[in-house]
Structure 1
Amino acid sequence: MEKLLTVEGLNKSFKDKQAIRNISFDVRKGEIMAILGPNGAGKSTTIRNIMGIMYPDEGSITFHNNNGKEIPRHKIGYLPEERGLYKNVKVMDILLYLADLKDYPLDKAKERAKQYLQKFDLEGTENVAVEELSKGMGQKVQFIGSILHEPELLILDEPFSGLDPVSQELFKDEIRHLADNGTAILLSSHQMNLVEEMCDRLFMIQNGQKVIYGTLDDVKTEYANFKCTIHGNNDAAMLEKISQVQRVEQKDDTSILFLEKDIQPTKWIKELPENVVINELKLNRISLHEIFIDIATNKNLLKEAGEENA
């Protein structure tokens, strides 16, 4: 896929603290790319550099053939984590104002706004002041404002915040639709289940530096060891003695066995001791959520799998 945005060798410091160090990745046309990391990892600094809200000390940001201050901001849509709609302005007026800031034709913007308001169950709110909307409704309006001008690159910072499950599905469907139609999407979220469900590739930051970068399949293969969940009344000490078991987490009659890298699942299961009580067994790779927690809390449980690429 065509590279729409390229970030290369980004460094940014604030006084004595280096917020990001040697950050490099790309976002391609028609893909959903996740940028992940715990609070304070450097995600927002990276996004603000891309948006031109601040500029890096070193490195380059290229959009098509434009870089730095020459990047055409009207081709980029941005949904910030902090909500910034004018509270006493009517919904349609704020949408048209945002479209005008992007030099988008107002007659076309008005027609598209009506379509999106209907699509997001906001029909009839055109003349309602933003301050009268619920948090979720306000989030929908701000999302519409970020895509109304048909951006080539869409940056979404915690887009699912404050949304009920039905609204989350609406957002997910629209984000997928935009990507299917060629929009490059850079998505930041702490909801790992949604990231795992939606994203094609991911870039994870910790302490301002890259720790993971690649497709979800590649990341799972490289970093996500297998785990075995067993439902049955078993002694944790006995389970820990099983070959290739790194550690055991136990709650009530459920035991989770975290396994060493490069096990052969079929062979390992066949070699389980006969005295293990198994009412139900599930063997799969650990989730993106578990990888995120491991990195964010510096447990280093994945160090053996990922130390060469950290």
Structure 2
Amino acid sequence: MKIEVDLDKKREVVVGDGGSVKFRLRDIAVEPGRKVNLKKDFDPDFTGGYDDKAGALEHVAKNVQRLSEMQETLYAQDIYSVLFIFQAMDAAGKDGAIRHVMSGINPQGCQVTSFKAPSADDLDHDYLRRASLALPARGMIGIFNRSYYEEVAVVRVHPELLIKQKLPPKARGKDVWEKRFKEINNFEKYLRRNGTIVVKFFLNVSKAEQKRRFLSRIDEPDKNWKFSPADFAERQHWDDYQMAFEDMLSNTSTEWAPWFVIPADNKWFARLAISEVVTGVFEKLDLKMPAVSDARKAELAVIKEALLAEKD
């Protein structure tokens, strides 16, 4: 059975009235089975040739409105759920992208989960357990700000974290990452078969742009709260993280749960690209308002008559 998300990667993005097509979703998609090299394959500064920031943000606003309308149908239909996963290096703009692109969503139909360091209780369970507990219900949109993919990124860069997971010897052997890729793929295939659409975003920020954003957070008092010394410490492992992310993207972008590498050096373009993918996902779903039976229509007609007959 083929269970692909069916998101048309040839989808053309046009900004402004009569604007020319500058990029397609395939420019940012990771084709299943593709060996990813972030430096060669995906430019963090890519904007598809756009220089109209205001026009792009107007396009984002239109997508946000469209998403709001489609979310209502998703919620009413109560068959599918949608899970968007965001991964990135620090200061890549995950929080801002989530806030802007999802700004039109009804909070009653959406839940955002931020995954921090696992607790002692988390470590007493398998690594997919806390994600399973946070999955969106039918009709809901779920957003994971970081996710179980930390288990093949942060844990890989810091192998001492693997020791803390108290795993059986065979579960932490030399092939641990290959096993986890397979486990994650199977987990996402299971979700897709049961109605949860999984789409993943890797916000690809350059090392130079991360430095600029770190300095901005230090120099501007209002942004000091955003900066953590731990962020700088992780920057020292930049190359290791890039290798881990490349392996992650290469092994876990599938027909049923694709990865999109979002150029993140220009926040406005990142939001445009994400909004295009998000609306594309919803447009490919068979979303319809629940059908009303004849018996239900008759019942509503009786209630309407009774309401109209009431004396104010």
- TM-score, structure 1 length as denominator? 0.31
Which is greater in Rg?
A: 1
Which is strand-richer, 1 or 2?
1
Question: Larger relative CO (CA 8 A, sep 6+): 1 or 2?
Answer: 2
- TM-score, structure 2 length as denominator? 0.31
Which is helix-richer, 1 or 2?
2
